[in-house]
């Protein structure tokens, strides 16, 4: 028999009546998800952990877990990156804990996890850790300025690889021949012979836009399936996996355990709930991976400098959920359940239902 799901045992427990579908595009308090995303990023930028924990809790209470992970990945890769490379290892390890809790499945729906003490404390810890982290100058997106650039014959000035040997160990029999030259250019720019981050990121963007153009023209460009890619079957032939094959191949060539751990964690995070749209959402993860291959990477940087602040916020995180609880939509029957001891989710729901039925019966008998 599975263990019952952990839950908070104070007055911060969220008992909102709404279902997951009711929170499409909004948080529990009715804020637009896109606005919360932007506000959360600004709070992290300004190192305001209390504000950041509040906005992350708003997303959690609405069941927007994947959105929160996207924000963490985006921020760490765009603003922190080489300022604290270990942050990506930390983030991937925390995702594995989250995934493990999710896989236990002893809850009616994902919304129940908002009352799980480990979930609350872990996301508070992640948010505070990212807030405190050392940063570098933000990485900016490389733009493909015109559609004509996607015709390889129109960008001869970008073709600088001296030969095609850079892609040969990676390119497979059923990979698209029209992508051979662009893939070679990308491989050359992340190789030890060149190490040019800007050029490599250009070919990442070129790949994403070329893939989109092929789909628009109903002529999808697909690559040979690679065994190391663990995503849904319908996405295993996306062109982006050739890019990742290059990154992992040239990473191994560095013979550096730390570099390979970083790249493997990045790849794992890139594959989380992957769809083709993830390529654009997680472009900065790809950029960060390129920087690991083309720039100097320091492994002496401490992940966390002030652990006391993080411990404090983990301890008082329920006070934030108490604030959010004021905006929940729930029946005014909390007092009835004050003495019910913690039971598994099903038994608890049944006892509440029984109490309500008894009250209804008494009302009918008295009428």
Q: Give 279-329 pLDDT, tens digit per residue.
A: 999 999 999 999 999 999 999 999 988 899 899 999 999 999 999 999 999
Apex 256 CA angle, 254 and 259, nearest 5: 95
Q: Would residue 106 count as lying in a domain?
A: yes
Indicate the SS3 state at residue 169: coil
Asked if pLDDT for residue 335 goes beyond 60, the answer is no
Task: Give the span between the Cα atoms of 304 and 329, in whole angstroms.
Answer: 38
Which of 130, 133, 128 is CA-nearest to residue 72? 130
95 & 227 share domain: no
Neighbours of 133 (CB within 10 A): 23
Higher pLDDT, 330 or 17: 17
Retrieve residue 240's tokens: 């982006």
Element at 41 (helix H, strand E): helix 33-45
* Longest alpha-carbon distance in the chain: 92
Q: Would residue 221 count as lying in a domain?
A: yes
Q: What is the CA radius of gyration of the chain?
A: 24
pLDDT of residue 6: 74
Q: Is the Cα dihedral 330, 334, 340, 342 positive or negative? A: positive
130 & 177 share domain: no
Q: Would residue 180 count as lying in a domain?
A: yes
CA distances (Å), origin 366, targets 10, 174, 355: 34, 78, 17
pLDDT of residue 70: 98
Contact by Cβ (8 Å): 58, 36: yes
262 & 195 share domain: yes
pLDDT of residue 48: 96
Which of 188, 175, 266, 191 is CA-nearest to residue 224? 175
pLDDT of residue 340: 45
85 & 128 share domain: yes
Higher pLDDT, 339 or 64: 64
Share of the chain above pLDDT 70, in %: 88
Task: Give the span between the Cα atoms of 253 and 239, in whole angstroms.
Answer: 22
263 & 222 share domain: yes
290 & 155 share domain: yes
Q: Would residue 339 count as lying in a domain?
A: no
Q: Would residue 362 count as lying in a domain?
A: no
Q: Would residue 363 count as lying in a domain?
A: no
Q: Would residue 279 count as lying in a domain?
A: yes
233 & 285 share domain: yes
* pLDDT tens, residue by residue, 345-358: 445 544 545 555 55
Which residues are CB-neighbours of 64 under 8 A, at least 6 positions away?
A: 23, 27, 33
pLDDT of residue 131: 96
Task: Give the span between the Cα atoms of 144 and 262, in whole angstroms.
Answer: 28
272 & 168 share domain: yes
Higher pLDDT, 310 or 146: 310
38 & 116 share domain: yes
* Structural domain containing residue 72: 20-134+302-325
Q: Would residue 282 count as lying in a domain?
A: yes
Contact by Cβ (8 Å): 127, 49: yes
190 & 290 share domain: yes
* pLDDT tens, residue by residue, 243-288: 999 999 999 999 999 999 999 999 999 999 999 999 999 999 999 9
Q: Count of domains in the chain?
A: 2
Asked if pLDDT for residue 158 goes beyond 70, the answer is yes
Q: Which of the residue ranges 115-129, 141-155, 223-237, 242-256 would you say has the lowest mean pLDDT? A: 141-155
153 & 206 share domain: yes
Block residue for tokens 């092929």 = 214
Residue where a domain terminates, one of 294, 312, 339: 294
Contact by Cβ (8 Å): 175, 157: no
54 & 99 share domain: yes
* pLDDT tens, residue by residue, 53-70: 999 999 999 999 999 999
Asked if pLDDT for residue 119 goes beyond 70, the answer is yes
* pLDDT tens, residue by residue, 8-25: 777 899 999 999 999 999
């Amino acid at each position: 028999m599975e263990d019952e799901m952990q839950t908070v045992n104070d007055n911060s427990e969220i008992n909102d009546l709404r279902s997951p579908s009711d929170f499409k595009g909004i948080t529990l308090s009715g804020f637009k998800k896109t606005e919360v995303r932007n506000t959360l990023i600004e709070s992290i930028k300004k190192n305001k952990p209390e504000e950041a924990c509040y906005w992350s809790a708003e997303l959690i209470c609405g069941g927007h877990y994947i959105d929160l992970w996207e924000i963490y990945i985006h921020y760490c890769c765009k603003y922190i990156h080489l300022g604290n490379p270990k942050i990506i290892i930390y983030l991937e390890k925390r995702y594995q804990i989250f995934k493990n809790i999710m896989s236990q499945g002893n809850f009616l729906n994902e919304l129940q996890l908002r009352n799980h003490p480990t979930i609350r404390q872990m996301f508070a810890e992640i948010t505070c850790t990212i807030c405190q982290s050392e940063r570098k100058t933000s990485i900016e997106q490389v733009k493909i300025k015109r559609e004509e650039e996607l015709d390889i014959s129109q960008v001869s000035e970008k073709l600088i690889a001296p030969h095609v040997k850079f892609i040969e160990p990676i390119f497979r029999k059923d990979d698209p021949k029209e992508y051979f030259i662009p893939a070679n250019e990308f491989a050359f720019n992340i190789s030890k012979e060149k190490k040019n981050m800007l050029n490599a990121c250009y070919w990442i963007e070129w790949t994403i836009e070329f893939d989109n153009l092929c789909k628009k023209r109903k002529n999808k460009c697909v690559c040979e399936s690679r065994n190391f890619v663990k995503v849904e079957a319908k996405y295993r032939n996306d062109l982006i996996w050739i890019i990742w094959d290059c990154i992992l191949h040239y990473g191994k060539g560095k013979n550096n355990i730390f570099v390979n751990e970083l790249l493997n964690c990045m790849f794992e995070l890139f594959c989380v709930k992957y769809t083709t749209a993830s390529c654009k959402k997680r472009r900065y993860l790809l950029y960060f991976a390129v920087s690991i291959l083309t720039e100097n990477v320091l492994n002496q940087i401490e992940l966390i400098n002030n652990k006391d602040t993080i411990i404090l916020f983990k301890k008082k995180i329920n006070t934030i959920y108490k604030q959010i609880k004021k905006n929940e939509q729930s029946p005014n029957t909390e007092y009835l359940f004050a003495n019910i001891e913690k039971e598994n989710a099903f038994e608890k729901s049944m006892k509440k239902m029984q109490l309500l039925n008894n009250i209804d019966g008494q009302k009918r008998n008295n009428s």
